[in-house]
Structure 1
């Protein structure tokens, strides 16, 4: 009696989580930060102190804790995102500390590295909490309209507050209370991205409906233009009433990117750009602060000791840095007003030169590319739109910041993510990073084949996603 040969059972090896690679890269980021800080201390003829060791120890402990949170709650998240952000944050801390040393003794020191370290602690704690409690990014779709309403309210509040509670350097973008201040637009961008992604997923058929065919383009129907008009009114309103050109451009450009990704219709983008251009022209002729920004962009040397002073000093910083820079601690970045906030890129360009500046831009490029790859790999439409929106927002914000500091576009006043001094910016961008890592965890984790085979539809839709 013969028995039929049994087929061999192949057991697929478990997909690696790559958390050890993340830990190794975090250690590399810590070493670079430590060396940069020591170079600053040596070139500024500062001795090693216990405070410096505490500073480095706190930095290492913070990102070790963030790594443990990711290892425990999002083990399949992208292993490059957290280390790259840690390095950017570390370089920002080093540069802010270097600017502290440039202030004369007894003078008003302004923002300090110790304060930035405290805000980094708050941001990393918020990052860990989002990673731990946001078990599935699709939960955010339930609160899409709530997020949209909250984001709009946060944008409106500074405009209706008295100038003493909201205005700084001509822009009404703050909520100032005794012992506490916040820049709500940093959080509005995340809330509005969630709202945009939720609406575009649920109402996609409206945005893709055929409209009139004009000049080779399918224009959307008039009744489908409501979301675009609302975004246009909100962005122009921010520019006009709050004098915040950066936030206005950032929110509107992010919305157009999401609309294009969702509909694949270039007509939406062209129409949106036309609306924004028209609003900008009207604002330029009606409001003096817009005219000042544009005139300083066209010719900052027309008033080098007045309105154009900041831009002139920024250009001198880049010229002084040249290709390889003056070296950390050897330049004069303190001559640029607001060097630790709006113009930290100019300080980087002076002391690290074009090579170091390009290296920093490459770090941001890695984050954007990994975010877009996450959008490609994730399986649900909401996750695709949200991940693409978060990555695109970072790219747009970086373009606005670098373009303004280098005189490519008018200066806007946005901060450089994870590098510039500012609690609101750090906290909001760490929340953004946590959401992006949560989506990447969903995109990279293996599919539960038992759950997928429970129904014929789920079984038919099961696909294997290779590691990103």
Structure 2
């Protein structure tokens, strides 16, 4: 009895419907901010909503031409998160008399245009594999830039991670997480068989050979270097965690995770003993409610105020524009989750977390569906980078782990983070397009055609 092989449909109309809902949610969030703060719907409101709509629909149209089989959920989820972030930053601008929202709108436009360019010009994600070692070199250069004279912006809030170009500042480490993911994916997909060669066995645990530990040692040293020279605990954890997860996915060996956790433990203890800025972060985390730490420079005041804001929000929140973030330092970047938790409540915060979970899950789904090892590892790495960044910053705000300087993806004010994460979305969309795109089975099995082509129409192919 013959069965039918189900072929994926483009589902761009589904994406368009979800985009309309995401844009509507963004417009409602901005409208609530204006209403609750006693402001009118001026021309800026309609202009900004129009810009977001044009960017989102423009991206959707490009996907119809260049990646019509891409996942239909990813773009609407990201637009919803970005739109909510713009509304909350606008709300905080009114309170603090700031102009961060205008800069965020500029960076949003640039980020979406760059993401569209990636989708348009990147014909196949596998092309990136050719630049494996170039990506490593670019990553090293990006991480060194903030330490150079003239271009480095010096220490900002205790971390040396920024560069200044004229009136603009940029955090190159955000782009480095993409180039590092490309390098890790290229290296591991090319050397997987060598890494899997048997080493020593201790009980049921298969250890890698000593020579194969070199990549993990290099990644560990690089993360320690970021911690030592740039004083950036969050990026250090992100870079090493990214490699550790990707090598586990490539080899399926628990021994790599155990070794990685051991290196993290050794590095963490050593950093606590040697570097005062790491010790201060840990002490502030452990003794957050100690009055001596609350009033100290770089103390726990920020974390404590954030926790009070989350508690004040309760289940349903105070409403957008009706919270009290006046005493919360850097509310529009590091602590924007605390503002959302206060004004949208536990339910609203859980909704935001569900959007992140959905985005990461769709990234993993693209990795499962793609047919090449490089694409699988790259999709996993990029999706995990977003997940780990969310965990690090949200865990710090809720005092689950020490607070670091990372930004909440798509929500927090920060142009370099916004640009990097939109590029990540574009790459995942290209990989999902390759994963979901149907193959013309008959053409692929015809000896006369050495270059199997992609069927441009949806068909149900009978399977024998």
Which TM-score applies when normalising by structure 1?
0.92
Report whether the alignment pairs 1:44 with 2:37: yes
Q: 1:457 to 1:73 in 2, by over 3 A?
A: closer
Provide Cα deviations, 1:33-86, integer angstroms capped at 9, x if missing partner.
Answer: 111111111110111211111111111111111111111111000000000000
Contact 2:115–2:422 (8 Å) recurs in 1? yes
SS in 2 for 1:171: coil
The partner residue of 2:425 within 413, 427, 433 is 433
Measure the CA separation in 2 of the matches of 1:55 and 1:197: 38
Shift of 1:161: 3.9
User: For structure 2, which runs of at least 5 residues remain unmatched after alignment?
Assistant: none
The equivalent residue for 1:17 is 10
Corresponding position of 1:159: 147
Shift of 1:392: 1.2
2:404 and 2:459 map into 1 onto residues whose CA distance is 41
- One of 108, 114, 127 as aligned partner of 2:102: 114
Q: Distance in 2 between matches of 1:163 and 1:17?
A: 45
Residue 273 of structure 1, CA deviation: 1.0
CA distance in 2, matches of 1:409, 1:388: 24
Q: Which residue of 2 aligns with 1:73?
A: 66
Report the Cα distance in structure 2 between the residues aligned to 1:277 and 1:388, rounded to whole angstroms.
24
- Is the Cα–Cα contact under 8 Å of residues 285 and 291 in structure 1 kept in the other structure? yes
The answer to whether the Cα contact below 8 Å between 1:377 and 1:465 also exists between their aligned partners in 2 is: no
Q: How does 1:267-286 map to 2 (within 5 A)?
A: 267-286=255-274
Q: 1:391-426 CA deviation, whole Å, 9 max, x = no partner?
A: 111111111111011100011110011111111011
Distance 1:259 1:380 in 2: 16
Structure 1 pair 154/308, CA: closer, same or farther in 2 (3 Å)? same
Cα 1:143/1:164, change in 2 over 3 Å: closer
Structure 1 contact 210–220 (Cα < 8 Å) conserved: yes
Q: Against the structure 1 CA distance between its residues 225 and 34, is the aligned structure 2 distance closer, same or farther, given a 3 Å change threshold? A: same
Which of 17, 23, 27 is the matching residue for 1:30?
23
The answer on 1:102 being equivalent to 2:95 is yes
2:139 partner SS: helix
Offset from partner CA, 1:233-260 (integer Å, 9 cap, x none)? 0001101111101100011111111110
The CA distance in 2 between the partners of 1:11 and 1:458, in whole Å, is 26
Deviation at 1:165, TM superposition (A): 2.0
SS at 1:176 equivalent? strand
User: In the alignment, is residue 84 of structure 1 matched against residue 74 of structure 2?
Assistant: no
- Match of 2:295, SS state, is coil
Contact 2:294–2:300 at 8 Å: present in 1 too?
yes
Q: Choose 67-76 or 207-216, whichever is displaced more.
A: 207-216
Give the CA deviation at 1:277: 1.1
286, 294, 304: which one pairs with 1:304?
294
The verdict on how the C-alpha distance between 1:271 and 1:14 changes in structure 2, with shifts beyond 3 A counting, is closer
Question: Is residue 247 from structure 1 mapped to residue 235 from structure 2 by the alignment?
Answer: yes
**1:36·1:328 contact (CA, 8 Å) conserved in 2?**
yes
CA contact (8 A) 2:151 2:163 kept: no
Aligned 1:43-442 pairs, distance under 5 A = 43-104=36-97, 109=98, 111-161=99-149, 165-302=153-290, 303-306=293-296, 307-442=299-434
Unaligned runs of 5+ in 1: 1-7
CA distance in 2, matches of 1:71, 1:159: 43
Contact 1:174 1:184 in 2 (8 A): yes
Alignment: residue pair count: 451
Q: Shift in Å at residue 456 of structure 1? A: 10
Structure 2 Cα separation of the partners of residues 465 and 286 of structure 1 = 64
Instruction: Report the 3-state secondary structure (helix = DSSP H, G, I; strand = E; otherwise coil) of the residue aligned with 2:375.
Output: helix
- Given that 1:43 and 1:329 are in contact with CA atoms closer than 8 Å, whether structure 2 keeps it comes out as yes
